[in-house]
Structure 1
Amino acid sequence: MPFKGVIGRTSSAAWVKGVADMMSAQGLDTRSLFAQAGIDIAVLQDPTARIPADAFSQVWELAVAQSGNSHLGLDRPLAARYGYLDVVGHALASAPCLRAGFELLARQMAVVSDAATFALQKEDTQGFWLILGHIGTARPVPRQRVEYGMLTLLMLCQWLTRQKVEPLAVEWVYPAPANPAPLRVAFGVPMRFDQPASRMLLARQDMLSPIPTYNPSLWDLHGRLVQERLDELGQTHISTRVRSELARVLHQGGEPRRDVIAARLHLSDRTLQRRLLAEASSFAQLLDATRCELARQYLGDAHRSLGEVADLLGFADQSNLFRACRRWFGMPPGQYRAQLPANGPSSHHPG
């Protein structure tokens, strides 16, 4: 049955179609894989369709099992060919430089997937971290899905700049897989595991290099088109924007204060309060809802301790996490984790 509109957290049909084509190129029976996950693959021909994020994760799990390849998708030519970023990709191609393009992506990632978070973080004088995460999914996100997304970003950098952009460092939140060599080959640098975030460091000169296809008029036009798509998805409501920023701040270990979020949205604290009130919402409600979504995600990954989960949610100590979980789930965090489906740490990305 086609998935139209927004049903929970979703990914664009264009992005999912690219992944399906990549899997087909690897010899997988994608029609069967999508059917097993409850998705009619024909819906991917509709560029306005949205695919439930949990169902998409299940496709990845099934594909890894069917192929017997725990590093499915770690192929540079395939990532370069099949990384469809929808209308956002056109906007990036007309951007002045990678930094400007990725700043746009950070604001408008929801067009590609509102289950994904993307942030750009300056690293002193070395360059910029590209940080990927996920939020609001009941199903743990397979690490292969995150690795493919990161590799697609790297290949996008090379295509946009027409230069051999290579990362300075790559880090993952999950433990090292049994054989990390394919990751080393795909990204060209040694991997670091069990890190606070899944991220890739690019050199400052690469991020600031001009994009040859930069066109100010098209940059403005595509920016408006992406904004219209966000409007259609309901992603321009202030409450939605606040939740997106909260997810980014928490993911980066920041302090989820209202004044911090207001500043990130280029609003005064008072204006933010007023606009939230106009949507019958409040900052406290949104922070609680965002923490609840992230808690489902983090507790779904067995290798994270409860103390670490409490830290990631911005709680001062574990007692706050216990009280919150009793309120959200009707049970303490350990019991909630125990009743989740099997979630081996080596195969899933918790953020």
Structure 2
Amino acid sequence: MSVIRSAGLRGFRATVAELGGDAEMLAAACGLPVAALDADDLLVPDARVDDVLELAARTLDCPDLGLRIAQRQDLDMLGPLALAIRNSPTLDDVLECSTRYLYLHARSLRVTVEPDPYGDRGVIAIRYGLTPGLRPEVQSMDLGIAFVHHMIQRLAGAQYGLRSVELSYRPLAPLERYEQFYGVPVRIERPNTALRVPKTLSNRPLSGGNEKLHRLAMAFLAQQGGGPDASLAPQVRAAVQHLIGTAASGIDAVARLLNLHPRTMQRRLAAEGASFANILNDVRRDAAHRYLTTTDLPVSQIASLLGLSEQATLTRSCRRWWGEPPSAIRRKYASNQD
């Protein structure tokens, strides 16, 4: 069974309420947990999400429901993938990590970059679709491709050079509504659903990113291959190891990287006999020992690399870990090497 994180339903409750509907009643009618309307970290069947979107569109007589919901969504709903995307140096890097790791958010969704379907060498197609064999539903496809469009707008600017939108299906709302939404020609019943954009866009530098955080997030994503029932403690440890020493190494940032609420993460760790504080302490201890015994870095710099506020904090930590200050640990290691 293919699943998607419930973050994909962000904006559904508010949009339905705006239209005068009852989101909880619609969810219950489709067998969707009501909690999925407000939580990000539940895994729900793709089919249930498709069903609730289609039912809401029919019940509320809103054929452009998917477009409306997309306007309320943001990158944060992608969890760990969002950190990599926000800190990507170029759109090409955004597309690469989306192509490789979108499955961590939704198992059946795919984003790929392909040659222009019309043969224009100055244009590429950002294709959005499902795993082969799955039937696309109109509202889900509308929501997905519109979200990709808004993601690029937020990263590259509102006027990023979109040439046309290709839809592999016949939309329910009038075509004029889609062309108003995208601001370009929209063609329907095409072989694939895609955004046609200038090829030069892929190499355009993006502002506000942090290349180090991008590399760390990508390395973390590469380690995420376990299923939803896999132990959480090793994943938290890997996340802390990648983020340690950055501004985003606290519990909120680690939970966001794992697409979990901090309280949910703490509860699951407790069930495994672990805690975030203990994991962070262990990672810092191991890293401190490595820096002290294998580098000549100043102790103040090591403290910064461990995310500690000052050198004195590292000194107190070393006394707690090993009963002696950083300088003694270095001397002891150096004498053992002689």
Shorter chain as denominator, the TM-score bin is: 0.5 to 0.7
Whether 2:73 is the aligned partner of 1:82: answer: yes
Question: Identity of counterpart residues, as a percentage?
Answer: 20
Q: Which residue matches 2:51? A: 58
1:156 to 116, 136, 151: 151
Q: Select 2:187's aligned residue among 183, 189, 192.
A: 192
Query: Is 2:5 the partner of 1:12?
Result: yes
The count of aligned residue pairs is 225
Task: List alignment gaps of at least 5 residues for structure 2.
Answer: 231-338
Are positions 1:128 and 2:124 aligned together?
Answer: yes
- Higher radius of gyration, 1 or 2: 2
Deviations 1:114-161 (A, max 9, x none): 1222211133532321111123777x4321211121111111111112
Shift of 1:27: 4.0
1:8-157 map, 5 Å: 8-75=1-68, 79-83=70-74, 84-123=77-116, 124-135=120-131, 140-157=135-152
The letter of the residue matching 2:88 is A
Determine which structure has greater relative contact order: mean sequence separation of CA pairs < 8 Å that are 6+ residues apart, divided by chain length. Answer: 1
Query: Aligned partners of 2:166 and 2:229: how far apart in 1?
Result: 32
**How far apart are 1:221 and its partner, in Å?**
1.9
User: Match of 1:132, SS?
Assistant: strand
Deviations 1:43-102 (A, max 9, x none): 455543211011111011111112101111324xx5343142222122111001112111
Moved over 6 A (4+): none
Distance 1:210 1:11, change over 3 A: same
Mapped contact 2:138–2:171 kept (Cα < 8 A) = no
Instruction: Determine the C-alpha separation between the residues in 2 that align with 1:40 and 1:176.
Output: 28
Alpha-carbon offset, residue 25 of structure 1: 4.5
**Residue in 2 aligned with 1:175?**
170
Q: Partner of 2:220 in structure 1?
A: 225
* Residue segments in structure 1 that go unaligned for 5+ positions in a row: 1-7, 236-351
Kindly tell me: are residues 143 and 223 of structure 1, through their superposed partners in 2, closer, same or farther at Cα, counting changes over 3 Å? Answer: same
Distance in 2 between residues matched to 1:178 and 1:80, nearest whole Å? 16
Aligned-pair CA distance for 1:215: 0.9
**C-alpha distance in 1, partners of 2:57/2:221?**
32
Taking the TM superposition and a 5 Å limit, the aligned residue runs for 1:162-311 are: 162-175=157-170, 177=172, 179-232=174-227
SS in 1 for 2:190: coil
- Normalising by structure 2, we get a TM-score of 0.60
Amino acid at match of 1:10: V
Please identify, of 190-199 and 51-60, the stretch whose mean Cα deviation from structure 2 is larger.
190-199
Determine the structure 1 residue equivalent to 2:303. Answer: none
Q: How does 1:317-336 map to 2 (within 5 A)?
A: none
Mapped contact 2:63–2:173 kept (Cα < 8 A): no
CA distance in 1, matches of 2:14, 2:190: 31
Contact 2:12 2:37 survives alignment (8 Å)? no
- Return the alpha-carbon distance in structure 1 between the equivalents of residues 158 and 30 of structure 2: 38
Structure 1 residue 229 displacement after superposition: 3.8
Give the counterpart letter for 1:88 in structure 2. Answer: L
